[in-house]
């Protein structure tokens, strides 16, 4: 007790003890061991609370009396100063070049100085959760937690540093001038990761997923994941071929392995990584979340995400902020990520003064109140202390934590780059500076812990192993079967042509439709929502025609009934931006929530329906869902844009992962993007999901791009995405006004028979011989043309809908053109500007299918810089112009 009082600098009378007691009652571990013992001694079960409170008052009174003696105000202030500002004075820079803004003189206190101003700079006083602050304080200040390392641990550190250094030197000598983005200078990353992973295993972690960029990646692959040296050497020697695929450079490749730990095996995965810095971070947490879902969300902490960042990228890339914003949300949280910054104090050639506006490169992490530990990379024992603290904190509080490993970069940005041109002073110091391995080996030798020959021997053994292409630091377990992994073999090398039955029997449809439209007894719905549910009931019996929202929900219900899972996210997707989905129902009286689709999976089935309104971000959320989908072929993963326009916020993900991931890394992914698209007179924004950009990215059967125009088409398309054993991204232009259009309906029969039609031929009863013009189109303009044609009673113009733009439905279109082989006038009509949407993509493809008598022309607006007109009035004029041009035949 006495010790507890003494270690408590900020005592504030009896409130302080009561607060501590509250904490203790909630979680005994949240208070220090002395306080635990004391509170336990009070006999919680047998003594009344009033008595306990009296005891606290007495204790506090005694304390107040002693306070002047034991803890003076000055001491209180001093501890506070060290805790809040000690990190500024800590000796963090191995090069000794940084000059902290020393604006406060910290009073002399040997103990506090050692704790807060040594090789670790602790930032945690910004956290509001007192239990966490107390826990960290205890960890840092309690001498019991700062015991010297045992020799075995010290040897392990040296082994790790030897491996880190040995590998780089070996590669540097053998493959002179080849890019490897050496870790040298930041070598402590290897003992750090080794400790986090090994200790995580003892705390029941079964899988670790790592996301990282170029720096030190080869080192992590070899020395942490145990990639075989021969495989890496083959890559350096250009001996690797990619089965006819594009492939990627060696420092972007992912890897996974099972390694031995003191308590059994542990699965490690390093995510495939494109060149765009930081974009892998949200992808990694998506992957972690998918794995956590497989284990059961109650066991989420058993899957750990680690993100390794560069200092410039961490401070500069906005997606870092977005990823932090996801970290504690209901739909995206992963029970805490460990972030490690390999802070080599330079970004390519850019000095930190220009690379950021914050003091530390880690300041962004404060937005989620993550604790941050800056640590001098030349002090590997301090690094180990922080590593242990980080994994323990994550396991205890399920929150993100940041380690800022302050080091340096021994060479240029890559091995062909001369660093002294831009950082001359820094590199003069670096050239004289001993390696972390050398420093630590010398420390152990001087302390008499090891002999110089021992250190030397470690290095020669490591090199010999490399020469013999033996596995290195981690003990890799071959032939291990990950029982939680999902089987992707059914989807490998599968063609889009596989015939798929997406129809669902009528009685099953009716049963599911009824279940979907049934709400719990006593639940009150807001009147408009109630009307939607009432309408749904009528659609379930076929009393009224089915609309878009109903068909969409029914597609999910049937997939759930088939045993697939469904996960959807996006801004306001629970209701649907245009209130068409209402997948999440809110009780009008008490706000409770009911999600009908959650109740569809049959008993004893593990599949689930999850739907999450997301944070207001596109980049990180789309990346997350991509990461999620890469891990689960049995879940239909959908992301919906609020309006299609916003999809360009996730362009990096589309370019680097969605469209090219399979070619670069052989990774399949079946995620769906639902992008509301269409000109509704609402101005240049809110109108275009930039179909043209997706079409430009289409090649090598990389994805599917569809514009379905009926509820039944949507139903079959969504079902096809899961039922067909092909896992490729599906990009969908979805409607807005058409969600409630009187012509945009289907019947239950349309779902119980048929399939997704890539091309929908003329749907009215027109005679082929009468047709003098065929107008092809996609999306909303079809209904505009159809209504105008019917109103004008025109029967010589056929309207054909192209519903799948990629893969290009060549055969289906060929049939159409053959049907109308005598019709010369073929037109493509779109409401979007000529340089946008599908015209530039389609014209060449159409031309190849036409016979020599047929001509192809464009009907639609001229090219424009913006996607739509700013005024609704002009929009109406433009729509009329399109109709006139299409139906009267004015070519542009
Ligand atoms: C989004 C993005 N912009 C620019 C680059 C080019 N680039 C590659 S590495 C690098 C410097 C990164 O510095 P830092 O994050 O400190 O990592 P370091 O290379 O120093 O380890 C830059 C600018 C990139 N890969 N990605």
Please give the distance, rounded to the nearest whole angstrom, from the Cα atom of residue 339 to the centre of ligand 1. Answer: 17
> Using CA positions, which residue lies closest to atom 15 of ligand 1?
310
538: CA distance to ligand 1 center in Å? Answer: 57
Q: Which atom of ligand 1 is nearest to the CA of 276?
A: 26
Contact predicate 750/712, CB 8 Å: yes
pLDDT at 890 over 60: no
Q: Does ligand 1 lie within 6 Å of residue 348's CB atom?
A: yes
For residue 68, the tally of other CB atoms under 10 A from its CB is 9
DSSP E strands, 665-703? 672-676
Q: Is the CB of 122 under 6 A from ligand 1?
A: no
Ligand 1 lined by 655 (C-beta under 6 Å) = no
- For the Cβ of 342 lying below 6 angstroms from any atom of ligand 1, the answer is yes
Atom of ligand 1 nearest to the CA of 343: 16
Counting ligand 1 atoms within 8 A of each CB, the residue from 168, 186, 277 with the most, and so the one to mutate, is: 277
C-alpha torsion sign, points 622, 269, 727, 836: positive
Q: How confident is the model at residue 480 (pLDDT cuts 50, 70, 90)?
A: low
Ligand 1 center–CA 630 separation, angstroms: 25
With a 6 A CB cut-off, is 276 part of the ligand 1 pocket?
A: yes
Is the pLDDT reported for residue 67 higher than 50?
Answer: no
**Rounded to whole angstroms, what are the CA distances from 805 to 64, 494, 548, 671, 809?**
78, 20, 21, 17, 7
Q: Is 357 exposed, middle or buried (0-12, 13-18, 19+ CB in 10 A)?
A: exposed
pLDDT computed for residue 48 by the predictor = 64
What residues contact 784, with CB distance under 8 A and at least 6 apart?
Answer: 831, 879, 882, 883
Which 3 state secondary structure label does DSSP give 77? helix
Kindly give the distance from the C-alpha atom of residue 308 to the centroid of ligand 1, in angstroms, as a whole number: 13
> To which H or E segment does residue 581 belong?
none
The neighbour count for residue 688, using CB atoms within 10 Å, is: 27
Mean predicted lDDT score pLDDT of the chain: 92
Tell me which residue of 320, 283, 288 sits closest to 208, measured CA to CA. 288
pLDDT band for position 70 (50/70/90)?
very low
Q: How many C-alpha atoms does 651 have within 13 Å on its Cβ side?
A: 11
- Taking CA atoms only, the protein residue closest to ligand 1 atom 22 is 348
Q: For the packed helices 548-561 and 527-541, what is the interaxial angle rounded to 10 degrees?
A: 70
Looking at residues 502-507, what average pLDDT do you find?
97
Quick check: CB of 310 below 6 Å from ligand 1? yes
Q: What is the dihedral of CA 803, 805, 809, 813, to 10 degrees?
A: 70
**Rounded distance between C-alpha atoms, residue 532 and residue 544, angstroms:** 12
| Residue 215 confidence (pLDDT) above 70 | yes
Q: Check residue 412 and give its pLDDT.
A: 93
Per-residue pLDDT at 12 exceeds 60: no
Q: In what order do the strands lie in the sheet with 264-270?
A: 120-123, 372-376, 401-406, 337-343, 303-310, 207-212, 264-270, 255-261
CA distance 791 to 276: 53
- Between CA 544 and CA 514 the distance in angstroms is 14
Pairing of strands 609-613, 565-570: parallel
For 890, the token pair is 């004015």
Q: Residue 412: enclosing H or E segment and its boundaries?
A: none
506 CA from centroid of ligand 1 (Å): 56
173 band by pLDDT with thresholds 50, 70 and 90: very high
Q: What is the mean pLDDT of residues 282-289?
A: 98
pLDDT value of position 60: 60
Smallest CA-to-CA distance from 822 within 781, 769, 865, 786 is with 769
pLDDT, tens digit (0-9, with 9 covering 90-100), for 341-354: 999 999 999 999 99
C-alpha 348 – ligand 1 centre gap (Å): 6
CA of 654 to the centre of ligand 1 (A): 20
Residues of the chain with pLDDT > 70, as a percent, come to 92
Q: Which of 315, 320, 345, 347 to mutate to test the pocket of ligand 1 (most atoms within 8 A of CB)?
A: 347
| 216 Cβ inside 6 Å of ligand 1 | no
Residue 799, number of CB atoms within 10 A of its CB:
23
For residue 148, the model assigns a pLDDT of 94
Beta partners for residue 800, in sequence order: 776
- Backbone φ and ψ for 121, nearest 5 degrees, come out as -110, 110
Instruction: Give 504-517 as a DSSP string.
Output: --HHHHHHHHHHHT
C-alpha 356/C-alpha 346 separation (Å) is 11
- Centre of ligand 1 to C-alpha 145, Å, is 37
Residues 6+ positions from 91 with CB-CB distance below 8 Å: 117, 118, 119, 376
Ligand 1 pocket check: which of 168, 312, 361, 619 to mutate, most ligand atoms within 8 Å of Cβ? Answer: 312
Tell me what pLDDT residue 251 has. Answer: 83
Give ∠ CA 7-12-16 in degrees, rounded to 5.
Answer: 80
Among 184, 348, 350, 364, the mutation site with the greatest number of ligand 1 atoms within 8 A of its Cβ is: 348
Q: Is the peptide bond before 429 cis (omega within 30 degrees of 0)?
A: no
Express each pLDDT in 184-201 by its tens digit.
Answer: 999 999 999 999 999 999
CA distance 246 to 363: 38
pLDDT of residue 16: 61
Read off the pLDDT of each residue in 24-51 and give the average, rounded to a whole number. 71
Cα 428 to ligand 1 centre (Å): 23
Q: Give the distance (Å) from ligand 1 centre to CA of residue 346.
A: 10
> In the structure encoding, which two tokens stand for residue 236, read together?
């350096």
Specify the pairing of strand 264-270 against strand 255-261. Answer: antiparallel
Contact 442, 158 (CB under 8 A): no
Which tokens in the block code for residue 55?
């005891």
Q: Residue 41's pLDDT band (boundaries 50, 70, 90)? A: confident
396 lines ligand 1 (CB under 6 A): no
Pocket perturbation via mutation, ligand 1, pick of 212, 217, 218, 313 by most ligand atoms within 8 A of CB:
313
**Confidence (pLDDT) at 61:** 58
Counting residues of the chain whose pLDDT is more than 90, the rounded percentage is 82
Over residues 805-821, mean pLDDT: 97
**Model pLDDT, residue 9:** 38
Q: SS3 for 270?
A: strand
Rounded distance, CA 811 to CA 801, Å?
14
User: How remote is the CA of residue 215 from the centroid of ligand 1, in Å?
Assistant: 9
For ligand 1, the distance from its centroid to the CA atom of residue 267, given in whole angstroms, is 29
| Closest CA to ligand 1's atom 13 | 347
Report how far ligand 1's centroid is from the alpha carbon of 221 (Å): 19
Residue 93 beta carbon below 6 angstroms from any ligand 1 atom: no
Kindly indicate the confidence band of residue 177, based on its pLDDT and cuts at 50, 70 and 90. Answer: confident
Q: How confident is the model at residue 243 (pLDDT cuts 50, 70, 90)?
A: confident
The pair of structure tokens assigned to 870 is 């700013």
DSSP states of 612-638? EEPPS-SHHHHHHHHHHHTT-TTEEEE
| Predicted structure pTM score | 0.92
Both structure tokens of 271:
């995510």
Q: How far is the CA of 209 from the centre of ligand 1 (A)?
A: 22
Closest ligand 1 atom, residue 348 Cα: 11
With 90 as the cut, is the pLDDT of residue 775 above it?
Answer: yes
Report, as an integer, the average pLDDT of 572-587: 94
Report how far Cα 168 is from the mean position of its chain's Cα atoms: 31
Q: Is the pLDDT assigned to residue 46 strictly greater than 80?
A: no
Alpha helices in 526-684 (DSSP H): 527-541, 548-561, 619-629, 651-653, 661-665
For residue 606, name the pLDDT band (cuts at 50, 70, 90): confident
What angle is formed at CA 834 by the lines to CA 855 and CA 644, rounded to 5 degrees?
Answer: 130
Confidence of residue 861 (pLDDT cuts 50, 70, 90): very high
Q: Tell me the CA–centroid distance for residue 364 and ligand 1, in Å.
A: 18
Nearest-atom number in ligand 1 for the CA of 313 is: 15
Q: Is 589 exposed, middle or buried (0-12, 13-18, 19+ CB in 10 A)?
A: exposed
Segment 519-554, tens digit of pLDDT: 999 999 999 999 999 999 999 999 999 999 999 999
DSSP percent split of the chain into helix, strand, coil, nearest 5 = 45, 15, 40
State the pLDDT confidence band at 288, using cuts at 50, 70 and 90. very high
Binding site membership of 312 for ligand 1 (Cβ less than 6 Å): yes
Convert the pLDDT of each residue in 630-678 to its tens digit: 999 999 999 999 999 999 999 999 999 999 999 999 999 999 999 999 9
Q: What pLDDT, on the 0 to 100 scale, is given for residue 69?
A: 34
Q: Is residue 344 in contact with ligand 1, taking CB distance under 6 Å?
A: yes
Q: Is the CB of 208 under 6 A from ligand 1?
A: no
Which ligand 1 atom is nearest residue 361's CA?
Answer: 16
Task: State the DSSP string of 730-779.
Answer: EEEEE-SGGGG-TT--B-HHHHHS----SEE---S---GGG--EEEEE-T
Given CA atoms 412, 413, 415, 417 in this order, what sign does their dihedral have?
Answer: negative
Rounded CA separation 730/740 (Å): 24
Ligand 1 centroid from CA 30, angstroms: 40
Q: What's the mean pLDDT in 117-135?
A: 97
Ligand 1 within 6 A of CB of 361: no
CA–centroid distance, 28 to ligand 1, in Å, is 44
């Amino acid at each position: 007790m006495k010790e507890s009082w003494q270690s408590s600098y900020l005592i504030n009378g009896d409130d302080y003890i009561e607060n501590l007691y509250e904490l203790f009652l909630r979680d005994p571990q949240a208070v220090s061991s002395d306080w635990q013992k004391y509170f336990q001694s009070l006999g919680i079960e047998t003594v009344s609370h009033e008595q306990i409170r009296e005891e606290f008052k007495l204790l506090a009174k005694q304390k107040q009396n002693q306070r002047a003696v034991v803890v003076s105000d000055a001491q209180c202030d001093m501890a506070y100063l060290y805790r809040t500002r000690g990190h500024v004075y800590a000796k963090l820079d191995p090069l000794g070049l940084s000059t902290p803004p020393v604006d406060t003189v910290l009073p002399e206190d040997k103990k506090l100085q050692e704790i807060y101003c040594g090789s670790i700079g602790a930032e945690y006083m910004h956290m509001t959760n007192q239990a966490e602050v107390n826990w960290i304080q205890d960890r840092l200040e309690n001498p019991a937690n700062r015991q010297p390392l045992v020799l075995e641990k010290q040897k392990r550190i040296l082994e790790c540093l030897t491996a880190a250094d040995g590998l780089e030197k070996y590669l540097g000598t053998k493959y002179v001038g080849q890019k490897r983005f050496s870790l040298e200078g930041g070598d402590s990353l290897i003992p750090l990761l080794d400790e986090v992973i090994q200790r995580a295993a003892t705390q029941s972690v079964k899988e670790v997923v790592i996301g990282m960029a170029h720096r030190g990646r080869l080192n992590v692959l070899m020395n942490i994941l145990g990639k075989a040296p021969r495989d890496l050497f083959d890559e350096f020697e250009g001996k690797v071929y990619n089965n006819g695929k594009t492939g990627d450079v060696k420092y972007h490749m992912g890897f996974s392995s099972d390694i031995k730990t003191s308590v059994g095996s542990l699965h490690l995965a390093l995510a495939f990584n494109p060149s765009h810095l930081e974009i892998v971070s949200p992808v990694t947490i998506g992957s972690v979340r998918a794995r956590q879902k497989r284990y059961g969300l109650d066991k989420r902490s058993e899957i750990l995400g680690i993100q390794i960042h560069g200092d410039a990228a961490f401070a500069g890339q906005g997606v870092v902020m977005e990823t932090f914003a996801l970290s504690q949300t209901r739909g995206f949280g992963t029970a805490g990520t460990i972030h490690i910054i390999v802070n080599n104090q330079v970004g390519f050639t850019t000095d930190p003064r220009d690379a950021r506006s914050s003091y530390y490169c880690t300041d962004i992490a404060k937005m989620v109140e993550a604790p941050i530990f800056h640590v001098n990379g030349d002090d590997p024992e301090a690094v180990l202390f922080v590593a242990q603290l980080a994994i323990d904190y994550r396991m205890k509080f399920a929150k993100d934590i940041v380690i800022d490993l302050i080091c340096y970069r021994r060479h240029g940005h890559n091995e062909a780059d001369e660093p002294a041109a831009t950082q001359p002073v820094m590199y003069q110091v670096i050239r004289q500076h001993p390696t972390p391995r050398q420093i630590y080996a010398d420390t152990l030798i001087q302390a008499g812990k090891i002999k110089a020959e021992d250190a030397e021997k470690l290095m020669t053994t490591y090199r010999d192993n490399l020469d013999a292409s033996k596995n290195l630091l981690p003990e890799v377990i071959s032939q291990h079967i990950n029982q939680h992994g999902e089987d992707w073999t059914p989807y490998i090398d599968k063609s889009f042509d596989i015939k798929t039955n997406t129809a669902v029997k009528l009685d099953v449809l009716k049963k599911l439709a009824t279940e979907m439209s049934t709400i719990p007894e006593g639940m009150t719905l807001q009147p408009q929502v109630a009307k939607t549910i009432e309408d749904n009931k009528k659609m379930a019996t076929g009393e009224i025609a089915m609309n878009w929202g109903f068909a969409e929900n029914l597609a999910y219900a049937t997939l759930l009934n088939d045993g697939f899972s469904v996960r959807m996210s996006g801004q306001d997707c629970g209701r649907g931006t245009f209130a068409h989905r209402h997948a999440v129902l809110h009780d009008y009286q008490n706000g409770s929530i009911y999600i009908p689709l959650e109740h569809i999976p049959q008993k004893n089935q593990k599949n689930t329906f999850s739907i999450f309104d997301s944070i207001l971000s596109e980049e990180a959320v789309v990346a997350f869902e991509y990461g999620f989908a890469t891990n689960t072929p049995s879940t239909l993963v959908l992301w919906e844009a609020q309006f299609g326009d916003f999809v360009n916020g996730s362009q990096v993900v589309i370019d680097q992962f969605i469209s090219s991931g399979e070619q670069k890394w052989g990774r399949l992914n079946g995620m769906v993007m639902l992008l509301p698209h269409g000109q509704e007179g609402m101005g240049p924004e809110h109108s275009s999901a930039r179909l043209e950009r997706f079409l430009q990215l289409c090649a090598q059967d990389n994805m599917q791009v569809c514009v379905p125009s009926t509820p039944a088409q949507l139903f079959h398309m969504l079902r096809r995405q899961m039922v067909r054993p092909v896992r490729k991204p599906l990009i969908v232009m979805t409607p807005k006004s058409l969600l409630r259009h009187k012509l945009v309906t289907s019947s239950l029969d349309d779902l119980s028979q048929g399939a997704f039609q890539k091309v929908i031929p003329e749907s009215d009863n027109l005679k082929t011989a009468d047709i003098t013009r065929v107008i092809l189109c996609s999306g909303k303009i079809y209904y505009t043309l159809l209504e105008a044609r019917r109103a004008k009673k025109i029967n010589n113009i056929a309207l054909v809908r192209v519903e799948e733009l990629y893969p290009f439905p060549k055969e289906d279109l060929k049939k159409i053109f053959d049907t109308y082989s005598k019709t010369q006038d073929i037109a493509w009509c779109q409401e979007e500007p000529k340089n946008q949407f599908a015209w530039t993509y389609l014209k060449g493809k159409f031309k190849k299918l036409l016979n020599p008598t047929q001509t192809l022309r464009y009907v639609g607006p001229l090219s424009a810089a913006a996607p739509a007109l700013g005024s609704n009035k002009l929009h109406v004029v433009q729509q009329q112009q399109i109709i006139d041009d299409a139906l009267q035949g004015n070519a542009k």
